[in-house]
Structure 1
Amino acid sequence: MSLPRFYCPDRNLLVQGGELPLEAAHHAVRVLRMGSGEELVLFDGQGGEFRTRILTVDGLRVAVAAGSFDPVERESPLRTVLIQGLCATEKMDWIFQKAVELGVTALWAVPMERSVIRLKGEREARRLEHWRKVVLSACAQCGRNRVPELRVLGALQDCWDQLPEPGLRLLLNPEGRHGRADLVLPDGTVVLLVGPEGGLSTAEIDQAHRAGFVDGRIGPRILRTETAALAVLATLQSRHEDWTL
């Protein structure tokens, strides 16, 4: 059985031991009911992980011993960026959580013409912090020791000058001409562009084409926005030997 894993950004604590951050301590003590002497794994998102054990528990003050470092890496050899059109909160949570489990490198949330929700100011900051916790929790659960990049962009056109080079830019479109057999995986990064619940508008599709995206068709059925990117990520990882099934 695998040990409980917690994110802890303080590298000194991981190396030397000390008190867990409040959020990690709460989860360890109040949710998992852990106590003195029990082992756990800590990671700071920069690679590798530290195996340690709880020394003392005093309410939510949890002291751990100095950690033993393991340089293990569980990242996919294929770099992937998911540009996801803003959709309902529970759907975005699901997409981000599962994309992390599937090895995505970066997550960009973007409002599009048919997005139901809009984020500005304080609401955007709260949602970004919420998604950060979703991503960190997914990393802890699936064993990743590097945290995917997370961004909220103001508009679709803001993406174009930030796209990585070189690579494949794939627009998921049920009317697309290219299937799996037509796509050659690059040495660089695969960028997936997925619209919100209502899909991308004609103008947005034209924008994407001008930015170098090609239309990708998943199959004969139209998938929901919370299914499309995950299906393609799973397929890409399988083809790129990230999966051994």
Structure 2
Amino acid sequence: MKKRIRRIYIEDHLKINQIILLSKNNTHYVKKVLRMKEKDKLEVFNNQKYVFISEIIEIKQKTIKVIILKKEIRNIESPLSIHLGLVISKNEKMKFSIQKSVELGVKKITPLISEYCHLKKKSNDFLNKSKNWKNIKISACQQCNRNIFPKINHPESIFSWCKKTYKYGTKIVFDPHSTLTMNVLPKKINYIRLLIGCEGGFSRLEIEKIIQYKFIPIKLGPRILRTETAVIAAITALQIKFGDFN
């Protein structure tokens, strides 16, 4: 069995034969978590369609140096572009939902504020959450072999996001009270704006207004799903039907 090469993210322009001194965080990860040694191979990505195969050339107490040996084109992005509008839920649920949506291939995530969302409306709360969400995104891409990051937008209100108009694509809101299923969707879709609520779901007034913005209300099945379960189930179902889960 071919040994899996470990991956790290470096936020720099990279080129062949370049020698890189790893950051403090990457040094700790490579040395203490992965327990790698000199001459071990390492895969580096930097938010491009390339991966850079590298080798550890020096390990000291607090520093690690690697050299870039070669680069390879690797594109595993889904042909289905999903823009996920995700109402902000409690901390761990939100982190989990972002992590899994990145692993499942979404292209863009916009955190949303709704009637039942969990958010202290303070600028520092936005800032702290955004930093955490960025780290989760990087970690998820590192784990699942994605080389290009999905974009995580600044939080906005649910209706300001819903009312934005696009010339193409399909808009879907998952609503457990709907009578419609995914069978009503077109046979071929390349772009989807997907809206998923938090633990309390949407108020009836919100759902009515969301539908007025031409979102198709779809139910995933007969059971009421937790928000983090709905994220996984919805994206998986869409990737099977329109994306690259085949």
Measured after TM superposition, the shift of residue 123 of structure 1 is 1.6
Q: Which residue of 2 aligns with 1:95?
A: 97
Partner of 1:130: 132
1:165–1:189 CA contact under 8 A, matched in 2: no
Match of 1:47 among 35, 46, 49: 49
Q: Deviations over 1:104-139 (max 9, x none)?
A: 111111121011333421121111011100011000
CA apart distance, 1:32: 1.1
2: CA distance, partners of 1:237 / 1:177:
22
Higher mean C-alpha deviation, range 191-200 or range 157-166: 157-166
Matches within 5 A, 1:101-140: 101-140=103-142
Distance 1:160 1:123 in 2: 23
Instruction: From the superposition, tell whether residues 217 and 161 of structure 1 become closer, same or farther in structure 2 (CA, over 3 Å).
Output: closer
Determine helix, strand or coil for the equivalent of 1:239: helix
Q: Which residue of 2 aligns with 1:171?
A: 173
User: Is the counterpart of residue 201 in structure 1 residue 193 in structure 2?
Assistant: no
Matched, 1:242 2:244: yes
Seen in structure 2, the aligned counterparts of structure 1 residues 38 and 119 have a Cα distance that, compared at 3 Å, is farther
Match of 1:156 in 2: 158
Whether the 8 Å CA contact 1:108–1:151 is kept in 2: the answer is yes
Task: Among all aligned residue pairs of Structure 1 and Structure 2, give the percentage whose two residues are the same amino acid.
Answer: 28
Using the alignment, how far apart are the partners of 1:106 and 1:119 within structure 2?
Answer: 23
SS at match of 2:224: coil
Paired position in structure 1 for 2:20: 18
Q: 1:201 to 1:67 in 2, by over 3 A?
A: farther
Q: Given the superposition, is the C-alpha separation of residues 230 and 40 from structure 1 closer, same or farther in structure 2, using an over 3 Å criterion?
A: same
Gaps of 5+ in 2: none
Between the aligned partners of 1:120 and 1:14, the Cα distance in structure 2 is 44
Cα gap change, 1:15 to 1:187, in 2 (>3 Å):
farther
Q: Report SS of the residue matched to 1:23.
A: helix
TM-score, normalised to structure 1, is 0.93
TM-score by length of structure 2 reads: 0.93
Please name the residue that 2:31 is paired with. Answer: 29
Give, as a single letter, the amino acid of the residue that structure 2 aligns with 1:101: E
2:170–2:189 Cα contact (<8 Å) kept: no
1:85 maps to 87
Cα distance change, pair 142–58 in 1 and its aligned pair in 2 (3 A): same
Which AA in structure 2 matches 1:205?
I
Question: d(CA) in 1 for partners of 2:159 and 2:15?
Answer: 41
Quick check: 1:75 aligned with 2:80?
no
Counterpart residue number, 1:62: 64
Q: 2:120 and 2:72 mapped to 1: Cα distance?
A: 42
Q: How far apart in 2 are the matches of 1:230 and 1:15?
A: 40
Aligned length: 244
How many Å separate the matches in 2 of 1:212 and 1:7? 39
Q: Secondary structure at the match of 1:83?
A: strand
